[in-house]
Amino acid sequence: MDKIDKILDLQEQGYTRQQIAKKLGYKRLDSMTRYLKKHGYILVDGKYVLDANTKNNTNIVNTETNTISNTLEVIDVNTVTNTQTNTREQFVKVLDNKIIELLRSDYNILKEMIDRFKKNMEVHNSSNIAIDLIDDRHLKQYPKAVRVNEFVWKDWTKFCVEHNKFSKKELISMALKEYMEKHK
């Protein structure tokens, strides 16, 4: 019995996704979900089902060997039956369509990411505040504690509320950076 059949069998027996993942030795639930998604399954109402787009396809191209389609996951075998007989342009057109389909399916996530990026990079002309910091989101964040004059802290809190388009981390980092540049 292969891994997919075992997962589906346990699912039919009433096991939850978390229980199945634990029973089969997955450290993370999303690893199992990605594995199934790679093989044409989607999650519907907490259950894995074969995606309607891939039900007719018994052959799914192995994406680990195809670097272009690593993010595409599944190429419609009925459309591209033999890449050697199809012209390069036809194959590129199919890939372009798959990329467009992928972008459409994750449109909201991509839009949210772009909006967040614009917000972080935006210069607010009304308040003349420009956040010009090196991106450190990939680094481990450590909380810092400093003692601040009570009156300055109250003014700072009010300032942060008035400029809530920025995070307190961004505002305080930029304030410290500007002060240090000014007093070198």
Q: Quote the number of domains for the chain.
A: 2
**Quick check: 40 and 60 in contact, CB under 8 A?**
yes
Closest to 165 measured CA to CA, from 132, 117, 125, 124: 124
Report which of residues 90 and 154 the model is more confident about.
154
Dump pLDDT digits (tens) for 107-163. Answer: 888 888 888 777 766 544 445 666 666 777 777 777 888 898 999 999 989 988 888
Domain annotation covers residue 66: no
Residue 86 is assigned to a structural domain of this protein: no
What is the token pair recorded at 71? 């993010």
| Domain limits for position 25 | 1-55
Residue 157: inside a domain, yes or no? Answer: yes
Residue 5 has pLDDT above 80, yes or no: yes
Residue 64 lies in a domain: no
Is pLDDT of 43 > 70?
A: yes
Q: Does residue 31 belong to any structural domain of this protein?
A: yes
pLDDT digits (tens, 9 = 90+) for 59-86: 444 443 343 444 444 455 445 445 445 5
Nearest in space to 50 (alpha carbons), one of 61, 60, 39, 62: 39
Q: What is the C-alpha end-to-end distance of the chain, expressed in Å? A: 69
Comparing C-alpha atoms, which of 8, 16, 24, 4 is closest to residue 46? 16
Two structure tokens written together for 38 = 């790679």
pTM above 0.95, yes or no: no
Instruction: Report if residue 130 sits inside a domain.
Output: yes
pLDDT tens per residue across span 160-183? 888 888 888 888 888 888 888 888
114 inside domain:
no
Higher pLDDT, 54 or 35: 35
Look at residue 151 in the predicted model and tell me its pLDDT: 93
In a domain, 95, yes or no: no
- Taking 70 as the threshold, does the pLDDT of residue 50 lie above it? yes
Quick check: 6 pLDDT over 50? yes
Cβ partners under 8 Å of residue 48, min gap 6: 7, 8, 11, 17, 33, 36, 41, 42
